[in-house]
Amino acid sequence: MSKENKDKRHSRLRLMISDDKTHQHLFKLHFTRTGFVVGAVSGTIVFAALIFIIIAYTPLKTFIPGYPDARSKRAAIQNAIRIDSLENVIYRWELYSENLKRVMEGEDPLKIDSLINDGIKNNSAADMKKLAEKDSILREHVRQEEEFGISDRDKRNLPIEGLHFFTPLKGVISEGYDPAVHPFVDITAPSGSVVKATLDGTVIYAGWSEEAGYTIQLQHDGDIVSIYKHNEKLLKTTGDKVSAGSPIALVGNTGNLSTGDHLHFELWHKGETVDPTKYINF
C-alpha cells in the first residue's frame, strides 16, 4: 500500500505534440504535478507583472476609463500654483492692512518680507482672527475719512491752474473779487436758477445761518474748497459725493446780508481765498 502511494507521488507527466499523419514527435515535455502547479503560478505572476509594467509605463494607461490624461494633470498643477499664489497675495494684503494701521497710529511698521519668509502660513487661528478684527477697524476708519473726502487716495496732484472748473452759475457779476474788502464774487441770476458744483468733491457743510442763509460747502482735491451762500434751497446734504456740474442748490435771497437774488461764491486754495474769475468764466 505504501509503495503504491509512493509511486503516485513521484509519477511524472508528459506533454507531447506529434504529427497526426506520421506520428512523429514534434515537442515533448516531462514534468511532475508539483512542477506544473509551480510553473502555472509563476507564469501567472510574470504575466500579471508584464501587464502592469506595460500599463504603468506606457501611454496605454490613458485609455483606462477615469484615468487622468496629460491635459488634466497639467490643469491640476496650474490650479495648485494659482492657489498658492493667491494665498501669498492674501497674506501680503493682510500684512499691508496691519502696516497701514500701524503707520496711521504712529507705530513702527512690520517687515513684511521677513514675516513671509519665516512662514506666515503657520500663524495660529487666534492671530488670524485678531488680524481680521484689526482689518475691520481699519476699513471703518478709512470709510469715515472718505465720507468727507479727506483721504489722499486717488487724488490728483495737479496745480490749481491745471484744473478745469465748471461754471457754478451763468449770470452777471454784480460785485467782483477784492482780497481785502470782498474776497469772493456775487453773481446775479433769477431766483430758482440751478447752482452747480465747480469740481468733483464732497459736501462738508450744508445748512442755514442768519447772515448767509442756506449755505453749502464742498471739499475738493488739492486742498480746494468752494462755498455757495444765500441759496433758496439746498439739493445736497453733508457727506454727499458730487461731481463737477451736478446741481447742488437753487439761487435765492436768504440771509441778513443778502439784498437780492444772487449767488455768493467763494473759492479757497490751501487755506487762502483766490479770485474765481481767474479760473472760471462766468
pLDDT tens for residues 230-264?
Answer: 999 999 999 999 999 999 999 999 999 999 999 99
Q: Report the top-level CATH class of 160-278.
A: mainly beta
Going through 47-200 in order, the beta strands assigned E by DSSP cover 172-175, 185-188, 194-196
pLDDT at residue 28 in the model: 76
pLDDT at residue 203 in the model: 95
Alpha carbon distance 15, 28 (integer Å): 6
Backbone angles phi, psi at 70, to 5 degrees: -65, -35
Alpha carbon distance 135, 221 (integer Å): 26
pLDDT higher for 10 or 107? 107
The string of pLDDT tens digits covering residues 205-237 is 999 999 999 999 999 998 999 999 999 999 999
pLDDT band at 126 (very low <50, low <70, confident <90, very high): low
Alpha carbon distance 55, 63 (integer Å): 9
Residue 158 pLDDT greater than 80, yes or no: no
Most confident of the following: 19-23, 40-44, 84-88, 132-136: 40-44
Query: 85 is written with which cell numbers?
Result: 499664489
Which pairs with CB-CB distance under 8 Å and at least 24 residues apart come from 211-217?
211/255, 211/256, 211/257, 212/254, 212/255, 212/257, 212/264, 213/252, 213/253, 213/254, 213/255, 213/258, 214/249, 214/252, 214/254, 214/255, 216/248, 216/249
pLDDT at residue 147 in the model: 58
List of residues 6+ apart from 112 with CB closer than 8 A: 92, 95, 96, 99
pLDDT at residue 266 in the model: 97
pLDDT at residue 150 in the model: 47
* Residue carrying C-alpha cell 442748490: 249
Residue 140 pLDDT greater than 90, yes or no: no
Domain spans of the chain, in order of start = 2-56, 84-147, 160-278
pLDDT at residue 151 in the model: 46
pLDDT at residue 25 in the model: 73
Which pairs with CB-CB distance under 8 Å and at least 24 residues apart come from 155-162?
155/221, 155/222, 156/221, 156/222, 157/222, 158/222, 159/222, 160/222, 160/224, 160/269, 160/274, 160/279, 161/279
pLDDT higher for 175 or 15? 175
Kind and range of the H or E run holding 76: helix 70-104
The string of pLDDT tens digits covering residues 24-38 is 777 777 778 787 788
CB atoms within 10 A of CB 59: 9
pLDDT at residue 127 in the model: 60
Alpha carbon distance 8, 25 (integer Å): 26
pLDDT higher for 12 or 122? 12
pLDDT at residue 228 in the model: 97
- Asked whether the beta carbons of 273 and 179 are under 8 A apart, the reply is yes
Query: 23 is written with which cell numbers?
Result: 506520428
Number of H helices, E strands in the chain: 5, 12
Alpha carbon distance 264, 187 (integer Å): 7
Helices 125-147/70-104 angle, 10° precision = 60
